[in-house]
Amino acid sequence: MEITEKYLEKVMLVETFRNSVMFRFGCDCCNETCDIALDFEFDKEHKLIWVSLYKKLEFCDYYGLNDSIEDKFFTRCKNFLKRWKKRFLGAFKLFFTGYIEVEGEMIIMGENQINSLLEVLKDGRDYCLEKISNSDVKERHEKRQSGGS
C-alpha cells in the first residue's frame, strides 16, 4: 500500500519511517497548537500495532476569569490574583503528586473533515498490517531457503 496525500481536509502526511507512519490532523480553528499528530507504529516480531496521539496541552488558568473592557480596575486585579493562585496551586500539585490534569480540544467541522480522519485511521492501520504481513512472507521465504541449504 502506498501512502499518498489523498485526504480531503486538514490532513498532512508527515513522514513514513521504517516501522511507522505519522500524520498531522489540523484543527478547524487553524491554530497549529490545537492540531494532533497521529503516529501508527508496528512491531513485526510480535505483530503489534499501536496508535499514539500527540497534542499540545495547556494549563488553563483563565477559565471563568476573563477580563472585559468594562471591568473595573479592582475586578481586573482580583482576577489577576486568582489566576496566579490557580497557577501556583497547579504547580504545587504537580510538584507534590507528580501529575496534573489538563485538557485540550480540537474542532472537527463538517463531513469532509470527519471522513478525512476516518481515512487516516484506516490508511494507518492498513499500512501497518501490510508491513507486518510482508515481513511474515519474507521470514517464511528465508526459513525455506536456509532449511533447504
Residue-wise pLDDT tens digits, 62-92: 666 666 667 788 888 888 888 889 889 888 9
Percent of the chain scoring above 70 in pLDDT: 79
Residue 21 has pLDDT above 80, yes or no: yes
Q: Which three cell numbers stand for residue 90?
A: 497547579
DSSP summary character for residue 120: H
Residue 141 has pLDDT above 80, yes or no: no
Q: How many domains does the chain have?
A: 2
Residue 94, domain extent = 59-103
| Same domain, yes or no: 96 and 121 | no
The average pLDDT across 50-55 equals: 85
| Same domain, yes or no: 46 and 118 | yes
Burial of 11 (0-12, 13-18, 19+ CB in 10 A): buried
Task: Tell the residue number behind the cell numbers 510538584, with chain if given.
Answer: 95
User: Which one is predicted more confidently, 113 or 7?
Assistant: 113
| Same domain, yes or no: 53 and 113 | yes
Residue 99 has pLDDT above 80, yes or no: yes
User: Which one is predicted more confidently, 103 or 4?
Assistant: 103
Would you state the pLDDT for residue 149?
A: 47
Percent of the chain scoring above 90 in pLDDT: 3
Would you state the pLDDT for residue 96?
A: 92
Burial of 37 (0-12, 13-18, 19+ CB in 10 A): middle
| Same domain, yes or no: 41 and 69 | no
pLDDT in tens, 56-69: 877 777 666 666 66
| Same domain, yes or no: 50 and 15 | yes
Which among 88, 103, 118 is the end of a domain?
Answer: 103
| Same domain, yes or no: 117 and 130 | yes
Would you state the pLDDT for residue 87?
A: 85
Radius of gyration of the chain (CA): 23
Residues 6+ apart with CB under 8 A from 19: 41, 42, 43, 44, 131
Kindly report the average pLDDT of the chain as a whole number: 78
